Structure 1
């Protein structure tokens, strides 16, 4: 199925569905991390493996990712994406469904399940971001450059930020959407989003009070973080498994140092060969065993 577009909360969201209509009645929504597109290397192999397992898979470009429109609202960027995903599932009539995601996509998936439990049958997450280092890095990478650019040059300064230059390249309409932003309102949102990444007692994952995990009542599979993965700490996945009652925690199907070695290969390529999600397809058997159980 080719890319399709749907308007949600005043912005266009690009998505595609893998798997024939007669494959299954149940859908898996698969969400990558960062501000990466659904077309990022490593995601489609996992999606195709899940389709072979008998499911239809929804891939989507979240707001501020890929070819979708940029949008700026909500308690955090992940809260905004959770609201978008809930409306996407509802508008497409594919819920309730299985929600799965890694890294930032794990956070988006967990928040969606917390806020819209009626739309989720099962939850699968891996590479969960947490800890002082992981949270600090995300705030510095995704939020701070936009604040500095906007404060220094006004809204036009955002056109020079690498993240937004990429969004404009993939979706030229984003240039006008960015230039139409009110500077003061934008900075208020950015400070709120940045605050989500400030490590706080009682927030195992960025911007989410621990008591919100009580809202996750569906069967949940957690693939724990690697032994020395600073971005997705083993400790964080263990804590999340304690917070989600009845959840299943398993060891990663990839090597303990998979994230670090992929990061080294990515750096050695000068940032030209993305390979951070290449191992994700190895999770397909465990995911299928869990969702079919």
Structure 2
């Protein structure tokens, strides 16, 4: 699969659909790669709807490189997305994403609002406990490992196994880090997830939201979803100048259910496997 240099990082990506179709970027969540169950399936449906769909591995995900110079992991990822869009000469682009992908979508759009035609977002991470969980999920195990066994312990973490298998350079990049500096970076990156009463999304200010005047489709989170709280989705909707708030194509317990699904790429199982259900709603709205 092709890779392209963005900000000194090799970014793995795939384009599907008619070359002449309007460009659309689909960004998944977690540290999951672009071929995670449900992501390419949704991408294929959007491509069938006439879009030129970009699937990509964010830095530190899948087969892409990673660096530790950005103020936060989210900033690293959104700047990579902006650079990727520029490198591919995408104009008047549509951005869609779920979970971490919704955060990266919003942050990238705020950096180039004039080049973004429409946005669709779902499973927006938020809430005090939800964001605290992200800080541990992304940074806590890294700090614990580095403090106990240095970078050798970090590269042995299950959280890096898939990336290292896909891109052996990840191991070399990690091993080249000074353990104390790495712990300090993870502390900063963890702090970037801190809950604030000023904004529902870490890395986004009220002024950032105000710049997003393009049409946005915001899917309301389930009341039972403590990782992507309902209040977060409704708060984002209120801050966006031109947002349409809609119900998702699944029930209230969706996240609680899919978070128990096995990660089984061979049998196309995982947390995002039901994302293709979004396609009809997305296409109807995007083409309205």
| TM-score tier after normalising by the smaller chain length | over 0.9
* 1:148 Cα deviation after fit: 1.5
Structure 2 unaligned blocks of 5 or more: none
Q: Distance in 1 between matches of 2:270 and 2:12?
A: 23
Once the two structures are overlaid, the 10-residue window that deviates more, 112-121 or 207-216, is: 207-216
TM-score (norm 1): 0.92
2:44 is matched with 48
Q: Report the TM-score when normalising by structure 2.
A: 0.94
Contact 2:63 2:163 in 1 (8 A): yes
CA distance in 2, matches of 1:230, 1:81: 24
1:171 and 2:167 aligned: yes
Paired with 2:56 and 2:85, the residues of 1 have a C-alpha distance of 11
Distance 1:289 1:7 in 2: 34
How many Å separate the matches in 2 of 1:282 and 1:273?
15
Checking the alignment, whether the CA contact within 8 Å between 2:107 and 2:203 is kept in structure 1 is no
Residue in structure 2 matching 1:9, options 7, 10, 13:
7
Aligned partner (choices 256, 263, 281) of residue 260 of structure 1: 256
CA distance in 2, matches of 1:254, 1:238: 17
Q: Relative to structure 2, which stretch is displaced further, 190-199 or 206-215?
A: 206-215
**2: CA distance between counterparts of 1:81 and 1:213?**
18
The answer to whether structure 1 residue 94 and structure 2 residue 90 are counterparts is: yes
Q: Tell me which of 216, 222, 226 is aligned to 1:226.
A: 222
Query: Contact 1:67–1:167 at 8 Å: present in 2 too?
Result: yes
Whether 2:288 is the aligned partner of 1:290: answer: no
Q: Distance in 2 between matches of 1:266 and 1:183?
A: 32
For each residue in 1:208-230, what CA deviation from the matched residue of structure 2 results, as whole angstroms up to 9, or x when unmatched?
A: 33332112121111011112111
CA displacement 1:151-191 (0-9 Å, x = unmatched): 22222221122222321111112111111123343233211
Name which of 65, 73, 97 aligns with 2:61. 65
For residues 83-137 of structure 1, the C-alpha deviation after alignment (integer angstroms, 9 at most, x for no partner) is: 1011101111112300000000000000001122133111110011100121111
1:97-136 aligned at under 5 Å gives the runs 97-136=93-132
* Regions of 4+ moved over 4 Å: none
Q: Decide whether aligned partners of structure 1 residues 176 and 261 sit closer, same or farther in structure 2, where only a CA change above 3 A counts.
A: same
The separation in 2 between residues aligned to 1:265 and 1:159, in whole angstroms, is: 26
1:75 maps to: 71
Q: Distance in 2 between matches of 1:274 and 1:190?
A: 30
Aligned residue in 2 for 1:210: 206
> Which residue in 1 is equivalent to 2:17?
19
Unpaired stretches in structure 1, ≥5 consecutive residues: none
**1:278 to 2:270 alignment:** no
Cα pair distance change 1:273/1:39, threshold 3 Å: closer
Change in Cα spacing, 1:204 to 1:72, as seen in structure 2 (3 Å) is same
The Cα shift of 1:273 comes to 7.4
Aligned residues: 286
